[in-house]
Chain A
Amino acid sequence: MKWSVLIDRFIAFVLVIAGWQVCSIYFGPIWFSSPLRVLDRFIEEARSGDLWFQTEYTLKAALYGSLLGGIPAALLPFALRRHPVASAILDPYLVGGYGVPKLALAPLFILWFGVDLEPKVALVASIVSFLVFFSTAAGVSAVNAQYVSAARVFGATERDIARHIVWPGAIPYVFAGFRIAVPYAIGAAVVGELISANRGLGFLVQSGATDFDTTLVFVALTTLTVLVVTINLFVSRCERWLLRWRPPQQRLAAGAAGA
């Protein structure tokens, strides 16, 4: 990356922090805390291990939920590819399911699964699964028909075609789905904790706000932001490694779209 871009980014960062500081001075730190207070508190909470204690919980909910919802959702389009009747039957229900506001299901999940990690995992899974499913399904239907036809001519079975052509061709779409899902997964875990929890970053936001401890709220929010960005970076890295066969300009376009 060019130096000028990095410098401009740094300037933008300074402006945001300065704006925050101005708000803090103008409206009072009780409402806005201040960048320095948040940094101090962040270090303090991180040192005591309490921040990690809360982060771990949220991260667990997001991770388990993403795997539980995302993996079957990434596999389902492949199973449906060879069964047009089944996919025609399922289609309206999948579209309808996508339309349901999942966050509104949180009370139901609490009713079913209690107040520990399980309802959060369920909430995350319900959101991630639809995002990953529709993205993967788009990839499966975008398979290059010419590759399939050529492979049939040289003796590929349906299984070979799924493994050597449809799957590798759909991987970019699977990744796009997961990359989009990351902030939603963290968000769903946090909402679950806001509603009922005694642990997690969502709980931290909630308890901070009830105590008028805005600094704590901002510490939690900052941690969440860092978390999402870090996970996204990790997913992008994995993707770049798995898709190293792609021409550079295509990779760049995908990166720009996903970032």
Chain B
Amino acid sequence: MTAAPPILEVRGLAKRFPPRSGQASSPWILADLSFCVAEQEFLTIVGPSGAGKSTLLNILAQVDDATEGRILFRGEAIRTANGTQLKPGWNCQIGYVTQDDNLLPWRTMIENVMLPLRLQGRLDVGAKDRVAELLRATNLIGFEGYYPHELSGGMRKRASLIRTLAYDPPIILMDEPFSAVDAQTRAHLQQDLLRLWNLGRKTIIFVTHDISEAIALGDRLLVLSKSPAKVIAEHPISIRRPRDLGNIYKLEGFGDIFECVRRALQ
């Protein structure tokens, strides 16, 4: 894993929001945060709620700006210290699946899934085949013409997931994408995600506050401290793939990592 060149490198990232009126300064949300992600790696990040996990992903997705630090994408700086203008998604190189599905309510499911491709002018036969394959893989066939409000929570999640997978950005950021669904749907979605990831391996940075989820999905796990967030622990996860998520708790290594992470978070 360490042999692969990093696709994304984060160095000394720090963030604080502008102080509110009447306040001299505002607290740091992120402080001296550094890590690397390798090409095709599934990196999971756990941290306590309110630790700035979403802020971190917003910065990586270029939706928000950092106060200090550098971000390198394949060796190229996408953020320099003096902060040039933000380019959300870095020219469609960085996908972002947020906590809310953000499907447009006035578009049918298939129109939502194809919207990025359409906007990027890449909606050709190959792309349509790819979308069809993703729909099959996520059991969404037959629901193409439904509006988001007519779909179940799990279906909406899957649709929002394949909307990003369909245009195939090399890195995908995921911000607790399965936090708003019930436990059973969640287990299905996790299995779906791993299956999709196996279809075409990409780099995924998956943020969650659920330790089991982080272990079950990732190749490597980072633990963030309470705010201001920095990396306080790192665990490679060597559980063999393909993983049976139903029995993940019984697999060798799971218990040890879980215990370590839990202690680190306290």
Contacts and interface: CB of A to CB of B under 8 A. Distances in A.
Interface of A: 146-147, 149-157, 160, 164-165, 168-169, 243, 245-247
B92 interface: yes
Interface in B80-113: 88-89, 91-92, 94-96, 98, 100, 102, 104-108
B63 A152 contact: yes
Contacts of A154: 89, 92, 95, 115-116, 119-120, 163-164, 167
Given A153-B63, A154-B92, A245 B116 contact: no
30 contacts: A146-B100, A146-B102, A147-B104, A150-B96, A152-B63, A152-B89, A153-B61, A153-B62, A153-B63, A153-B88, A153-B89, A153-B95, A153-B96, A154-B92, A154-B95, A154-B115, A154-B119, A154-B164, A155-B89, A155-B116, A155-B120, A155-B167, A157-B119, A164-B107, A164-B115, A165-B104, A168-B104, A245-B106, A245-B108, A245-B149
B75 to A, nearest CB: 22
A149 B119 contact: no
Interface string B109-140: 00000011001100000000000000000000
Contacts of B254: none
B147 interface: yes
A146 to B, nearest CB: 5
A247 B149 contact: yes
A147 B96 CA distance: 12
A152 B100 CA distance: 16
Interface residues of B, number: 27
Contacts of B105: 245-247
Nearest to A146: B102
A160 B107 CA distance: 14
Nearest to B102: A150
Given A245-B106, A246-B105, A153 B119 contact: no
Contacts of B89: 152-155
A165 B95 CA distance: 19
A160 B117 CA distance: 13
Given A156-B119, A164-B119, A247-B149, 9 more contacts: A146-B98, A147-B102, A153-B94, A154-B95, A154-B116, A155-B92, A155-B120, A164-B107, A245-B149
Contact of A168 (B88, B91, B96, B106): B106
Contacts of A168: 104, 106
Nearest to A150: B102
A162 to B, nearest CB: 12
B33 to A, nearest CB: 21
Q: 5 tightest A-B contacts by CB? A: A154-B116, A153-B89, A152-B88, A247-B149, A168-B106
Contacts of B106: 168-169, 243, 245
A38 B168 CA distance: 71
Contacts of B119: 151, 154-157, 160, 164
Contacts of B92: 154-155
A245 B107 contact: yes
A197 B120 CA distance: 57
